[in-house]
Structure 1
């Protein structure tokens, strides 16, 4: 305990010395004041790591698994997991700023004892929150022009997807988890896919508040008869072995739907959508995959 306490005091002293100038930015818990242009940064949220790396920010510490191969942890120390920071390692780094979000958000109070910390969770208003996080990180690291360029590119890609998906009928967003299936409607965790494609849901009465989705059967999907199926394979997203989404969907009922018959089943980039949702490059990857599917 004495060693941890000493490390906490040392890290706090370093953070105080680094905070010569501060900036105020929007976070998931309201406005927060943090050191400007922090040099030693640790992030525990994959979406935040994604956006920070897209802005060219180097990280001193990251969780043990980023799940998305395109996110590089080269040069960064492993400082715990997405769910549980290693406080001793974190204190040893002496960060100027710690970023948490989503799965790591409950650790905000703990890491705040070691350094200035912010919660950059991206909520159900995914696109709005994603752009707000890009702007906030741009302000913190004095990279406003880069942040504006990322947002402009994102807006262009969203517009192109909307044009490509115009008049394409209904869509059903499905997540498979082994043999289980759940659907998501507008306003839900993955409802932003309806926003960017401008496609109405094949099942209008889906509850928007279901974080784990609305449980569906093959019969219900066949009855809804979507024009397009957008499919997320949760097992693939987290690297689990087991039945794939394609195997779960394979049945005469689903194979009889308009989506299946017209080859309009889109298997979305799983880790980018499920783990990195709202991170800049993850958003671009998912949007590009949908645009390509409609172009085909």
Structure 2
């Protein structure tokens, strides 16, 4: 996808959240060998704090650094947002959890891409048989690091800190790995401009409420307020795109705080931002969010009367929520209220 900024950047540049250093070393050829025949083994160093605690233990972090080869031939990716960015920067992915790759990103897979497992479990034998040069994990797959790093250099590009800082960090890093530094820098500038444009639109849109619809029920989403990655996902509409929450005391939770239809009418947001979780996860026989919200109570709200119930792309906002193309999809979703 080609990203086109539509107005000057309004927000301050995103701060780079992690140091990414490009390290190159040339190996001299034999005596008399032309300089053009010399080989260059370059690597990119990526560092992060890795949680080494057990599943039921309090987090304990260890500084971890991995050296990644530049221009890797075979890449395996478990983090779908990273698959997005790798593809958008001109690379392709040899292995991934194929059942979890959304249709709009399938073009970034190699023609003979293999199934590397699921978002939570790796097929170690299959992966090792393809001898990858780089493995990328993140979020749901972060716990796979030790096993995968024994096969090939493995980096964890999980959301850490702020969404925008992580987006810039990961885009910059992957641009250096792929030899696409200029493309990565341009993508960051264009996404910043798009987000700033979306923030300008939401600033004029009045109050808002993000809701997740799942199992025929509503869950109100809250600003992340510095919480973990899953809470950040729910808070993106506020924290990144500047929506003013209609109510401040919603409890942050992985899938939001359960609320009633009467809650919507009581607080009456100007815009209702909807994520259909069941559509994102492919839940069988699930009632679509639009049907769940099609009732007499919701029809009394300002958002309904003004035709400002916005159905956000469920895969982009719930499954991927990162990467170059996906972030542009999210920008487009928010800008839809200005049409």
TM-score bracket relative to the smaller structure: 0.7 to 0.9
2:265 alignment partner, one of 201, 218, 222: 222
- 1:173/1:230 contact within 8 Å kept: yes
SS in 1 for 2:197: helix
- Contact 2:220-2:250 within 8 A present in 1 as well: yes
TM-score using structure 1 length: 0.88
Equivalences for residues 54-93 of structure 1 within 5 A:
54-72=88-106, 73=109, 74-93=111-130
Change (3 A) 1:290 1:28: farther
Question: In 2, distance between residues paired with 1:232 and 1:28?
Answer: 31
Q: Give the SS at the match of 1:94.
A: coil
Alpha-carbon distance between aligned partners in 1 of 2:323 and 2:257, rounded to the nearest angstrom: 25
Alpha carbons of structure 1 residues 28 and 285: separation in structure 2 relative to 1, 3 Å: farther
How big is the shift at 1:199? 2.3
The answer as to 2:275 corresponding to 1:235 is: no
Question: Which residue in the other structure is 2:306 paired with?
Answer: 262
Matched with 1:203 is 247
Alpha-carbon distance in 2 for matches of 1:28, 1:265: 40
In structure 2, the partner of 1:23 is 44
Structure 2 residue 184 is matched with structure 1 residue 174:
no
Distance 1:249 1:129 in 2: 34
Secondary structure of 1:206's aligned partner: coil
- Give the structure-2-normalised TM-score: 0.77
Match of 2:180 in 1: 143
Provide the C-alpha distance between the structure 2 equivalents of 1:165 and 1:153, rounded to a whole number of angstroms: 19
Could you tell me how far apart the structure 1 residues matched to 2:331 and 2:239 are?
11
Structure 2 unaligned residues grouped into runs of 5+: 1-39, 51-62, 225-230
Q: 1:197 to 1:60 in 2, by over 3 A?
A: closer
Q: What is the root-mean-square deviation in Å for CA atoms of aligned residues? A: 1.9
Query: Of the candidates 153, 156, 181, which is equivalent to residue 119 of structure 1?
Result: 156
Q: What is the deviation of 1:195?
A: 3.2
Q: Please state how far the C-alpha of 1:192 moved relative to its aligned partner.
A: 2.2
Aligned length: 277
Q: Which has the higher helix share?
A: 1
Contact 2:310-2:337 at 8 Å conserved across structures: no
- Contact 1:98–1:116, Cα closer than 8 Å, also in 2: yes
> Is the contact between residue 43 and residue 98 of structure 1 (CA under 8 Å) also seen in structure 2?
yes
Which of 168, 193, 200 aligns to 1:156? It is: 193
Please identify which structure carries the higher strand content: 2
Q: Report which stretch shifted further, 70-79 or 273-282.
A: 70-79
Distance 1:138 1:115 in 2: 19
Which residue, 178, 183, 194 being the options, matches 2:238? Answer: 194
Q: Distance in 1 between matches of 2:160 and 2:256?
A: 15
Q: Any idea what SS the aligned residue of 2:247 has?
A: coil
